[in-house]
A and B are shown apart, each in its own frame.
Chain A
């Protein structure tokens, strides 16, 4: 079974530029999560999708971050414009269903973003 795929693995941009990250969850997984992991900290949830609908984006900085999950499969996270403090690893995870809370979240390898 293929795992969660993410691309790119690394990205370096200048501040005020735009960047997008892509995630392909495990086949059949209805729930998709984006986490931000700043160096020296644990991951923090940015947004959660159930199929193609957003169920929690309370910690997403909506003035600059956006995310979509068209057709309930792949997802894209965008930052526009980027700030220095956005430098972090962006992790994507998926799980079978959100209401079966014991279901494991499977993580992708992450994208390391550096904003100069």
Chain B
């Protein structure tokens, strides 16, 4: 079974600085998707960025970028020019590209990292 591990329960960053959140995963599959979701206090999960495992190029979305190391099974999120609105829980998630039976499309989440942004 696939697992996702986020080893940093909490992180803090100064406004306008850069912070990196860590994520490792375990899988025997060769094709899959990785995601970072943001969950503010309102509880609504918002997709931040997505990475397809077959792509070597790291995904970027404005101030958000990832460092995807497939061999090491590592998927970190870098937030540049941090803003107060970035404060939230961040979840790393895994999704099989194919799946079998009912597992297709299911997201497997880590425990999350709480990010605080100091003004």
Contacts and interface: CB of A to CB of B under 8 A. Distances in A.
Contact of A31 (B50, B93, B97, B105): B105
A75 interface: no
A42 B47 contact: no
A98 B46 CA distance: 19
Interface stretch (A20-28, A64-72, A107-115): A107-115
Interface size class of B (residues with CB under 8 A): 20 to 34
B117 to A, nearest CB: 21
Interface in B16-71: 33, 42-47, 50, 52
Interface residues of A, number: 28
Nearest to A47: B102
Nearest to B97: A101
A61 interface: no
A102 to B, nearest CB: 6
Contacts of B47: 104-105
A55 B103 CA distance: 8
Interface of B: 4, 33, 42-47, 50, 52, 91, 93, 95-99, 101-107, 109-112
